């Protein structure tokens, strides 16, 4: 790969949708430099809380307390490493699943990490598993999601709030839109690093990376994982999870997994510095045009990220993603259409101006 094309693939990987353009000279080429100055934003979600104690068990262990300690330990380490941390809760309060997803979406976070403990009627079962959202659900995985989704019943007006989502019916998951599809690869990457650390560093039993229909994973518009850190119904593992050492060690190993995830994706520090040649056409997918100015948040655009806008006269033109590669942008156009932007089309940008493209 040439230097420029390797920068270009780096560009595709690191473009976050929020950047400013500066002129810059490099290798006698006049090129633009895009700098993103936002911190990497992580929402940490301690499961349950308040009137919802978490999974029942005979050992008198409170899931809500264990996962809160883990969440706070994790947040402390990540903050020291210059990430921006948002907790869905930092004390013992009840939150609906809807509120948790809303916090993450409104923050436009880069990552969502939900922390839980598992439970099972057979107390011999133990080990850790990390979930990403998915519809290829086995019966066993569905049962875990069922228990974590159960909190919906604790809410008033749950039918209105969850739009026909019945926590007891697997088929009701399928009617919902697939916000998580776009981030599945990244979610799986982080989940596998977490499981790797748990088994190799902490010698915990690895029950694997799994997919299931967790409501809270489904409704966050960013790479998201839900960690079941172990079974509180298993006497040995329950006692371990209840110890402050375990709560530190588990948090520390999630922290290391997040670091590895960032390194793997080329997210280093707070600056993503990328180069691109001038005079080349950048393609974007126009998804909408409106007289209304909308905030460029994924929840305003059916979960699409990497958004931009250009004002022309009284009209705002909204664009999804960008690439130098026409074939890639063609795929992205298909994705935008599948999200409901049926009239999406491709436009070219040259030196900041829109140029005609045969669609
Ligand atoms: Zn839980």
Domain assignment of residue 157, yes or no: yes
Q: What is the mean pLDDT of residues 253-279?
A: 70
Sheet holding 282-290, edge to edge: 307-312, 315-323, 282-290, 345-350, 353-355
Query: 330 or 161, which is more confident?
Result: 330
Dist. CA 258 → ligand 1 center (Å): 21
One domain for residues 220 and 309: no
Residue 222 shares a structural domain with residue 289: no
Predicted pLDDT at 277: 45
355 falls within a domain: yes
Q: 234 in a domain, yes or no?
A: yes
Whether residue 29 is contained in a domain is answered as no
- How much distance in Å is there from the Cα of 63 to the middle of ligand 1? 7
Looking at residue 126, what is its pLDDT? 95
Task: Write out pLDDT tens, residues 125-152.
Answer: 999 999 987 655 555 666 677 777 666 5
Please tell me the predicted confidence (pLDDT) of residue 309: 85
**Residue 184 sits in a domain of what CATH number?**
3.40.630.40
CATH of the domain at 304: 3.30.70
Q: How many angstroms is it from 261 CA to the middle of ligand 1?
A: 24
The pLDDT, as a whole number, for residue 21 is 33
**Could you tell me the distance, in angstroms and rounded to a whole number, from the CA of residue 221 to the centre of ligand 1?**
21
Do 94 and 211 fall within a single domain?
A: yes
- The neighbouring-strand residues paired with 131 are 210, 226
Specify whether 155 is located in the same domain as 66: yes
In a domain, 82, yes or no: yes
Residue 134 located in a structural domain? yes
User: How many A from CA of 208 to the centre of ligand 1?
Assistant: 17
Same domain, 169 and 295: no
pLDDT at 161: 53
User: Minimum mean pLDDT among 81-90, 208-217, 227-236: which range?
Assistant: 208-217
Q: How far is the CA of 130 from the centre of ligand 1 (A)?
A: 12
- Residue 98: pLDDT above 50? yes
User: Which residues have a beta carbon within 5 Å of ligand 1, which is an ion?
Assistant: 47, 54, 116
Query: Which residue shows structure tokens 């130098």?
Result: 324
Determine the distance separating the centroid of ligand 1 and the alpha carbon of 64, expressed in angstroms.
8
237 and 122 housed in the same domain? yes
**pLDDT at 18 (0 to 100):** 31
**For residue 245, how far is its CA from the centre of ligand 1 (angstroms)?**
20
Q: How far is the CA of 54 from the centre of ligand 1 (A)?
A: 5
The 10s digit of each residue's pLDDT in 236-261 is 999 999 999 999 999 999 999 999 99
So what's the ipTM on this one? 0.99
Cross-strand bridge partners of residue 319: 286, 308
Q: What percent of the chain has pLDDT over 90?
A: 37
pLDDT, tens only, 57-70? 888 889 999 999 99
**Whether the predicted pLDDT of 226 surpasses 90:** yes
Which of 169-178, 236-245, 281-290 ranks highest by mean pLDDT?
236-245
Does residue 171 sit within a domain?
A: yes
Distance (angstroms) between ligand 1 centre and the Cα of 97 equals: 11
In whole angstroms, give the CA distance from residue 168 to residue 139: 12
CA of 44 to the centre of ligand 1 (A): 14
The count of domains in the chain is: 2
Dump pLDDT digits (tens) for 304-328: 888 888 887 777 788 998 888 888 8
- Report residue 265 as tokens: 């994706």
**Ligand 1 geometric centre to CA of 284 (Å):** 41
* Ligand 1 center to 171 CA (angstroms): 22
Ligand 1 centroid to 175 CA: how many Å?
A: 24
Same domain, 70 and 144: yes
Cα of 52 vs centre of ligand 1, distance in Å, is 10
Q: Are residues 244 and 195 in the same domain?
A: yes
Same domain, 167 and 292: no
User: Which of 264, 289, 309 corresponds to the end of one domain?
Assistant: 264
Asked, for residue 83, whether it belongs to a domain, the answer is yes
Q: Are residues 258 and 296 in the same domain?
A: no
Distance 114 CA to ligand 1 centre (A): 9
Domain that holds residue 320: 281-359
Report how far residue 30's alpha carbon sits from residue 23's, in angstroms, rounded to the nearest whole number. Answer: 7
Strand partners, 308: 319
Is 285 within 8 Å of 329 (Cβ atoms)?
yes
Mean pLDDT of the chain: 78
State the distance from the centre of ligand 1 to the C-alpha of 46, rounded, in angstroms.
9
Do 157 and 289 lie in one domain? The reply is: no
CA 116 to ligand 1 center in whole angstroms: 4
Task: Report pLDDT for 280.
Answer: 73
Domain shared by 311 and 205, yes or no: no
Q: How far is the CA of 331 from the centre of ligand 1 (A)?
A: 37
Q: What is the pLDDT of residue 135?
A: 57
Sign of CA dihedral 240, 242, 243, 246: positive
């Amino acid at each position: 790969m040439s230097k420029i094309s390797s920068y270009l693939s780096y560009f595709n990987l690191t473009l976050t949708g929020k950047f400013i353009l500066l002129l810059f000279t490099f290798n006698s080429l006049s090129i633009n430099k895009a700098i993103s100055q936002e911190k990497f934003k992580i929402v940490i979600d301690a499961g349950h809380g308040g009137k919802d104690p978490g999974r029942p068990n005979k050992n008198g262990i409170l899931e809500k307390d264990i996962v809160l300690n883990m969440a706070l330990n994790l947040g402390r380490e990540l903050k020291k490493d210059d990430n921006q941390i948002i907790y869905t809760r930092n004390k013992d309060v009840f939150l609906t699943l809807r509120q948790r997803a809303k916090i993450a979406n409104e923050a436009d976070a880069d990552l969502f990490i939900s922390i839980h403990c598992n439970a099972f009627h057979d107390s011999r079962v133990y080990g850790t598993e990390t979930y990403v959202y998915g519809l290829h659900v086995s019966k066993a995985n569905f049962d875990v999601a069922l228990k974590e989704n159960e909190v919906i019943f604790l809410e008033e007006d749950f039918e209105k709030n969850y739009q026909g989502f019945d926590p007891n019916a697997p088929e009701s998951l399928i009617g919902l839109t697939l916000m998580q599809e776009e981030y599945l690869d990244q979610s799986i990457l982080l989940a596998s690093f977490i499981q790797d650390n748990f088994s190799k560093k902490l010698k915990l039993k690895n029950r694997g990376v799994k997919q299931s229909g967790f409501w809270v994973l489904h409704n966050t518009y960013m790479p998201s994982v839900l960690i079941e850190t172990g079974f509180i119904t298993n006497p040995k593992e329950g006692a371990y999870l209840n110890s402050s050492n375990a709560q530190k060690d588990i948090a520390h190993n999630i922290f290391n997994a997040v670091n590895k995830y960032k390194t793997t994706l080329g997210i280093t520090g707070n600056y993503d510095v990328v180069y691109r040649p001038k005079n080349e056409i950048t393609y974007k997918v126009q998804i909408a045009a409106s007289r209304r100015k909308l905030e460029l948040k994924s929840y305003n655009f059916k979960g699409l990220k990497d958004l931009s806008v250009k004002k022309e006269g009284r009209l705002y033109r909204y664009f999804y993603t960008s690439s130098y590669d026409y074939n890639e942008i063609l795929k992205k156009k298909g994705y935008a259409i599948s999200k409901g932007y049926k009239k999406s089309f491709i436009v070219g940008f040259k030196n900041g101006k829109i140029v005609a493209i045969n669609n």
